[in-house]
Amino acid sequence: MIILGITGAVGAGKSTIMNRLREQYGAYTIQADQVGHLLMKKGQICYDAILKQFGEGILAENGEIDRKKLGGIVFSNRRLLLKLNNIIHPAVKQYILDMVKKKRQEGCALFAMEAALLLEEHYDAICDDLWYIYVNDEVRRARLKADRGYSDEKITEILENQLEDGIFRERCRYVVENNGDLNQTYEQIDKRINMYGIM
């Protein structure tokens, strides 16, 4: 089984890449953000620890954690964000490692994981190949405004907290340029996957 790590800054189009890998190559795909959301749900491993740390004021009426309320608390306070990350990230990593083991036993050929913090959280240690999804700032800003309704100020703030382009390029083995022409993006994906010799 080939384990592929996908990373890049926010707005790079990582989900588009994951969709292509799943639909064209039958890859099992997993996204760290979605796992994190799952593990924050009532009855899941991170729920009680987050509640203990941040109090019942973060709950929605249905008793689930309101991620917007929680985000409002942590994103303006680096110390609290670190506390939240220390609860969620180890649990997410263990979940993904367990899934890698399961899929390997099932005979899966291609396992693709996507994480914005793939390098920071050292997922690269378990990956056979690392892809950096690159997009220029102009395209990124347009996407984040259109898709998520972010302001210029918010986009700038997010980008200032992400790894620099040079670090991604230095530590990843392959760069996929995803500046808007999907056919060109797909050609880059297909070229790399064909090198694996698993299809």
Q: Which residue has the higher pLDDT, 104 or 141?
A: 104
Q: Which residue has the higher pLDDT, 126 or 75?
A: 126
pLDDT band per the 50, 70, 90 thresholds, residue 180? confident
User: DSSP per residue over 72-105, as a string?
Assistant: HHHTT-HHHHHHHHHHHHHHHHHHHHHHHHHHHH
User: What pTM did the predictor assign?
Assistant: 0.88
For range 82-92, the mean pLDDT: 94
Residue 184 to residue 160: CA distance in whole angstroms: 28
Q: What is the pLDDT of residue 199?
A: 61
Q: Which tens digit of pLDDT belongs to each residue from 2-61?
A: 999 999 988 888 999 999 999 999 999 999 999 999 999 999 999 999 999 999 999 999
From residue 136, how far is each of 7, 117, 140, 188 by CA, in Å?
15, 19, 6, 17
